[in-house]
Amino acid sequence: MNRKRIVIAGTNFAGYTAALELKELVGENHDVVVVANTHKFLFFPSLIWYPFGLREEKDITFDVRPIYESHGIQFIEGEIDRFDPPTNQVVTREQGPVGYDYLVIGTGPKVDYDYIPGLREHAYSIVGLGPAHRTREGWQKFLADPGPVVIGAAQGAACFGAAYEFLFNTRYQLAKNDLADQAPLTYVTAEPFAAHFGIGGFGNAQKMCEWMFKHYHIHARLSAEIDSVTADGVHLKDGEFLPSKFTMIVPRFLGVDAVRNTPGLANPAGFIEVDDTYQHPVFRNVFAAGVAVHVRPPGPTAVPCGVPKTGWPTEQMAKLAVKNIVADIKGLPFKAEKFGEMASYCIMDTGNMGMMIVGDHMLSPREHEFIIPGPEAHWAKLAFEKYFLWTRRHAHV
């Protein structure tokens, strides 16, 4: 059998999983190469706590290089400018072209801060360590000069869970700082109803969220479109103005520039349309996983909502993609699993409580779907964070 070179672009949930899983499957028979613009794995779920000083960078990141080295995986650190599927190359800015026989793209999202005026300048974000750090500085300023707060997920956003978690964690922090009376809290969302999450809802999460909104005096603006964000608040397209001294908005995602710079690879938003084997329909030696992949919303909404490609399905897509690469090399049949039919595991933290969200399918119809609310969900999220990071940090051979 000819020796193959399999390149993985990105080194977070999709890329890191794909690299380790693939190496496990191919051993010394083929070469596994990871190309990414960072050598740090970032555990995004903990960014809901970072702005409140509850986590530091070292708590939620780790260096992937020693782990790859111990597995015999080559790691190339560099910014990918574009892919060149006709010549089977990943074109990096600093390291030049990297050739491949097979490619797995796990480059995640580009966060679009520029489609709503003022979003970049006047709203905070938690999508990434840098933005979360700026949010931490903003929170400190806010504590010294409190007032109304707006948290939201803008039109086209997909990462609704993070917006809810940050909303409820902000509520908890306001209460801890004795600021609840001085800081009315508004949640602005593209979703048509509470806890729609971009997936058409989940079990009785809507009722529970509505109860929490009422109990914690959170004002909700549903099916809302943000017109602009200014230093003093959020302007909605229907003319309403929501004053705010601290605004955190989750924007829409696009595919990264490297994907968008590659003709024929992705749709206009930069998401890669793959089949249920995670293989590209045209470039058959290219596979994709995670946020880089296009997933069709389960139904229309008055204001556009994206589908959240969370950690669990991201890792499942990555595992399937590399299994199918191995199947292709060996001439075996591919395995397929639709995104919507993957199991759904999530924990939504609310500061000192939370909801465990478990279902047999990401998208309905589901046979089993459970929401388990209570303080144990908060502790489960903390335990999961420790478990996840410990196992990934210690994935040495």
Ligand X SMILES: Cc1cc2nc3c(=O)[nH]c(=O)nc-3n(C[C@H](O)[C@H](O)[C@H](O)COP(=O)(O)OP(=O)(O)OC[C@H]3O[C@@H](n4cnc5c(N)ncnc54)[C@H](O)[C@@H]3O)c2cc1C
Residues at the interface with ligand X (CB under 6 A): 10-15, 36-38, 44-45, 47-48, 79-80, 106-109, 126-127, 159, 161-162, 256, 258, 290-292, 309-312, 314, 346
8-state DSSP, 55: -
What's the rounded Cα separation, in Å, for the pair 253 and 45?
Answer: 17
Determine contact, residues 86/99, Cβ cutoff 8 Å.
Answer: no
Residues 9, 33, 116, 159: which is the catalytic one?
159
Q: Residue 237 half-sphere exposure, CB side, CA atoms within 13 Å?
A: 11
Q: Which is nearer to ligand X, 227 or 337 (CB)?
A: 337
Distances (CA, A) of 362 to 51, 160, 206, 298: 29, 14, 16, 10
**Mutual orientation of helices 311-330 and 13-26 as an angle, nearest 10°?**
30
What's the rounded Cα separation, in Å, for the pair 3 and 178?
Answer: 63
Q: Which is nearer to ligand X, 229 or 346 (CB)?
A: 346
Q: Which is nearer to ligand X, 277 or 316 (CB)?
A: 316
Q: Which is nearer to ligand X, 159 or 242 (CB)?
A: 159
8-state DSSP, 344: E
For the question of residue 305 being annotated catalytic, the response is: no
Determine contact, residues 339/353, Cβ cutoff 8 Å.
Answer: no
DSSP for 207-233, written as a single string: HHHHHHHHHTTEEEETT--EEEEETTE
Q: Which is nearer to ligand X, 243 or 345 (CB)?
A: 345
| φ, ψ of residue 104 in degrees (nearest 5) | -115, 125
Q: Which is nearer to ligand X, 290 or 340 (CB)?
A: 290
Q: Which is nearer to ligand X, 102 or 160 (CB)?
A: 160
What's the rounded Cα separation, in Å, for the pair 333 and 330?
Answer: 9
Residues 60, 346, 356, 377: which is the catalytic one?
346
As to burial, measured by CB atoms within 10 angstroms (0-12 exposed, 13-18 middle, 19+ buried), residue 330 is exposed
8-state DSSP, 32: E
Determine contact, residues 269/292, Cβ cutoff 8 Å.
Answer: no
Write down the least CB distance from residue 80 to ligand X, Å: 3
What Rg do the C-alpha atoms of the chain give, in angstroms? 21
Write down the least CB distance from residue 232 to ligand X, Å: 25
Q: Which is nearer to ligand X, 311 or 359 (CB)?
A: 311
Determine contact, residues 309/158, Cβ cutoff 8 Å.
Answer: yes
For the question of residue 209 being annotated catalytic, the response is: no
Classify the C-alpha dihedral 270-276-282-283 as positive or negative.
Answer: positive
DSSP for 243-310, written as a single string: E-SEEEEE--EEE-HHHHTSTTTS-TTS-B---TTSB-SSSTTEEE-GGGB----SS--SS--PPP--
Chain CA centroid to CA 248, Å: 16
Enumerate the active-site residues: 159, 346
